[in-house]
Chains A and B, each alone.
Chain A
Amino acid sequence: MARTATAPGAPNTLLGKAALEVDDRLIVAGPLRRTLNKVFPDHWSFLLGEIALYSFIILLLTGTYLTFFFQASMTEVVYDGSYAPLRGIDMSIAYASTLDLSFDVRGGLLIRQIHHWAALLFMASIVVHMLRIFFTGAFRRPRETNWLIGVTLLILGIFEGFAGYSMPDDLLSGTGLRIMSAIILSIPVIGTWAHWAVFGGDYVGELIVGRLYIAHVLIIPAIILGLIAVHLLILVKQKHTQFPGPGRTEHNVVGNRLFPAFAGKATGLLLVVFGVCAALGGLVQINPVWLWGPYNPAQVSAASQPDWYVMFLDGSTRLFPAWDIYLPGNYNIPALFWPTVVLPGIIFTLLLAYPMLERKLTGDTASHHLLQRPRDVPVRTSLGVMALAFYIVLLLSGANDVIADKFDISLNAMTWIGRIGLIILPPIAYVLTYRICLGLQQHDREVLEHGIETGVIRRLPHGEFIEVHQPLGPVDHHGHGELAYGGAPVPKKMNQVGGARRAIRGFFSPIEEPAAVELEQRGEERGLAPADPHRELTTSGRPADGGRPSEGGRPSEGGRPSEGGRPSEGGRPSEGGRPQAPRD
Chain B
Amino acid sequence: MTTHDSRPGSTGGADTPGPLHGGPDDDYTPEQLATISREDLDRLGARYDGVEILHVEPGPEPGSALEKRAVRQVGLMFGLAGLCAFGFVVVYAGAGWFLPDWQWELGSSSFSVLYTPLLGLLMGLAFTLVGVGLVLYTKKLLPHETAVQDKHDGSHFDRVTTGATLVGGLHNSGLARRKLITGTLAFMGGGLGLMLVAPLGGLIKDPNEGDPLGTTEWAEGVRLVRDDGTPVRPGDQEPGSLETVFPAVPEGNRLTDAATMLIRLRPSQQEAAVPRNGQEDFGYGDYVAYSKICTHAGCPVSLYEQETSRILCPCHQSQFDVTQGAKPIFGPATRSLPQLPITVDDEGFFVARGDYIEAVGPTYWNRERI
Contact = CB atoms under 8 A, between A and B. Distances in A.
Interface in A297-344: 297-304, 314, 317-324, 326, 329-336, 339
A197 B205 contact: yes
B334 A323 contact: yes
A278 B121 CA distance: 7
Interface string A242-270: 00000100111111110011001101111
A534 B142 CA distance: 19
A175 interface: yes
Nearest to B68: A511
Given A534-B146, A543-B52, A553-B152, A300 B135 contact: no
B302 A300 contact: yes
A265 B138 contact: yes
A257 B55 CA distance: 12
A35 B104 CA distance: 50
Interface stretch (B13-21, B166-174, B267-275, B338-346): B13-21
B39 interface: no
B259 A282 contact: no
B177 interface: no
A303 B1 CA distance: 73
B22 A110 contact: no
B65 to A, nearest CB: 5
B328 A322 contact: yes
Contact of A283 (B95, B120, B127): B120
A252 B150 contact: yes
Interface in B146-175: 146-153, 155-158, 161
B106 A5 contact: no
B213 interface: yes
A38 interface: yes
A565 interface: yes
A580 B103 CA distance: 69
Given A106-B92, A533-B55, A39 B149 contact: yes
Interface stretch (B42-50, B179-187, B278-286): B42-50
A145 to B, nearest CB: 14
A191 to B, nearest CB: 5
A83 B20 CA distance: 72
Contacts of B145: 256-257, 261
A298 B246 contact: yes
Interface in B33-67: 33-34, 45-55, 57, 65-66
Nearest to A264: B138
Nearest to B29: A7
A455 interface: no
Interface residues on B, range: 35 or more
Interface residues of A, number: 144
B206 to A, nearest CB: 7
Interface stretch (A156-164, A222-230, A571-579): A571-579
B22 A577 contact: yes
Most buried by A among B146, B158, B205, B334: B146
Most buried by B among A3, A37, A543: A37
Contacts of A272: 127-128, 131-132, 135
B338 to A, nearest CB: 15
B362 A182 contact: yes
Contact of A549 (B48, B132, B151): B48
Interface stretch (B188-196, B232-240, B309-317): B309-317
B120 A264 contact: no
Nearest to B303: A302
A411 to B, nearest CB: 6
Contact of B299 (A109, A253, A304): A304
For the complex of A and B, list the 4 residue pairs with the smallest distance between their C-beta atoms, beginning with the closest. A282-B120, A279-B124, A275-B128, A7-B30
Given A335-B332, A505-B66, 5 more contacts: A7-B30, A256-B146, A261-B138, A269-B131, A554-B24
11 contacts: A8-B30, A114-B120, A185-B364, A196-B206, A200-B205, A252-B150, A264-B135, A271-B128, A282-B124, A333-B365, A580-B157
